Amino acid sequence: MKRKMVRRKTTPIRKPKKKVSVFSGKLVRYLIVTFVIVLVIAVGYHYRDGLAYYFSFKSDKILKKEAEAKRISDVRNFQVLEKHEGKSVGLDVSEYQGKIQWTYVDTLEQKYPLDFVFIRATVGRDRKDRRFDRNWLGAKENKMIRGAYHYYRPNENSLEQAELFIKTVTLQKGDLPPVLDIEKLPKNQSLDRLKVGLKRWLKRVELHYEVKPIIYTGEKYYDDFLKEEFSDYLFWIANYNFYREEINEDWLFWQFTEKASVPGIKGNVDVNIYNGDLQQLQFITKE
């Protein structure tokens, strides 16, 4: 009997294909380098004037200021300060700045005199800033024009907040008007009720100190909620955006940075420009 020959099928051994990753090492490096280059070009273009000042490329006059310009770490801050030459410059502080050595607080970047300081006094209806008394006295001894501000909590009783501020702050001749700091939107009340509360605080504080308070807030908050209804008040506006490089003519103060370095204060500190010179600033202080 003849046997039928059966051929066994052999499965060819295939070599595993190498996985091709879209994010290969070379591609990732290329993307990172491209992104950095584009970012540097964009930032450089926007700050071309400030960088020109910084590296003294503009004129012979700027070349003479080279040593001073190089000491300023933030190009935008330098550009803003240069554009507001002659206007009064100051700070605002709270317990977050820790222990301040007030005798060293005199100039910004060893060039711009610091004329004034706003000091946080109270928060809401029940909290006094832990460093207020020390800062309030230290600023006075350092011969700075000082002002006190209250951080307003929208969901707490406005008159209780006003009474806490009045109990905490005694204004003297030469001090700035009191400031209401409003930054948050309410959670448990309408915007109309918020505005009623703000007005109650402002009127109670004005009645006590016999001077109209100043309102501090961000530019968007000001535009969206306060500009029209609180037009009788003067505003201190915060805006750190790179596109804002000059104070608005309607603002009394402009907080243009929160990242400045000042002698006597550890870490970053807010810097503000008054929309006028030192003599005009003294004119609005308590008589």
How many degrees, rounded to 5, is the angle at CA 44 between CA 43 and CA 47? Answer: 85
Own/partner contacts of 52-55, CB < 8 Å, gap of 24 or more, are 53/78, 53/79, 53/82, 54/78
Query: Per-residue b/e over 126-141, b at no fewer than 16 CB within 10 Å?
Result: eebbebbeebbebbee
- Dihedral angle sign, alpha carbons of residues 213, 219, 221, 225: positive
The C-alpha atoms of residue 246 and residue 273 are separated, in whole angstroms, by 10
The C-alpha atoms of residue 132 and residue 122 are separated, in whole angstroms, by 8
Identified catalytic residue from 68, 183, 246, 258 = 183
Active site includes 92?
Answer: yes
The C-alpha atoms of residue 123 and residue 24 are separated, in whole angstroms, by 53
Task: Report which residue type is found at 83.
Answer: K
User: Would you say 180 and 162 are in contact if contact means Cβ atoms under 8 Å apart?
Assistant: no
The C-alpha atoms of residue 33 and residue 29 are separated, in whole angstroms, by 6
φ, ψ of residue 20 to 5 degrees: the values are -100, 110
φ, ψ of residue 144 to 5 degrees: the values are -100, 145
* DSSP β-ladder status, 253-260 and 269-274: antiparallel
Catalogue the active-site residues.
92, 183
